[in-house]
Amino acid sequence: MTSLFRGASPYTFVLMVGGLVLLMGSVGGIVPDAAHGQAFGRVEETESNVAYFYHARPGEATVQLSVWGTVPRPGVYEVPDTTNLDKLLTMAGGAPMEARVENREAPTITVRVYRPGTDGRNQIFESELDRMLQEDVSYPALRDDDIVVVETVRPKQPFGWRDVLSVLSSLGTLTLLGLRIFTRV
């Protein structure tokens, strides 16, 4: 061997030759095929960067629908056609349940289901989450292209000491910035 490889291990020699082969292949136009993921369900139909969740066994009849709003994992869901709204919301991470703050009103969480019709999307279901948890609410059967929207409305909070502190902090920062600008001029 030449002095270039003297004292080098056979492993180093193999790595160098392999690197040279890869370099020559890319220069010479040899391009490997792109990697392709395994196709599940109808994932090919969604051409966007929206999260796609597949929750069905192979060969099981499925529906594909969207979950929007204030859930931890919004996106397109392909689920068994027997899935009910409770289970779908659980798959999406549930509703945003927050710890109750003393002397504050709890947020209102509303779940709506929209279905495509001849005249656009029609709302077919609406219920507050509290009512869904406490009562026996009948859910519509989920179908292809349904949209489930979870909306959280937080009640207006009165102007508190934290708000006053935030305003004073902002005013102090602006005052210091103004003094620094005008003293350098």
Pairing of strands 75-80, 108-117: unpaired
| Percent of the chain at pLDDT exceeding 90 | 39
Residues 159-163, mean pLDDT to the nearest whole number: 82
CB half-sphere exposure, 164, CA atoms < 13 A: 4
> pTM of the prediction?
0.60
Does domain 43-153 bear CATH number 3.10.20?
Answer: yes
Q: Is the pLDDT of residue 38 over 50?
A: no
Q: Is the pLDDT of residue 41 over 60?
A: no
- Give me the residue spans of the domains in the chain: 1-32, 43-153
How far is it, in rounded angstroms, from Cα 74 to Cα 92? 6
How far is it, in rounded angstroms, from Cα 97 to Cα 90? 12
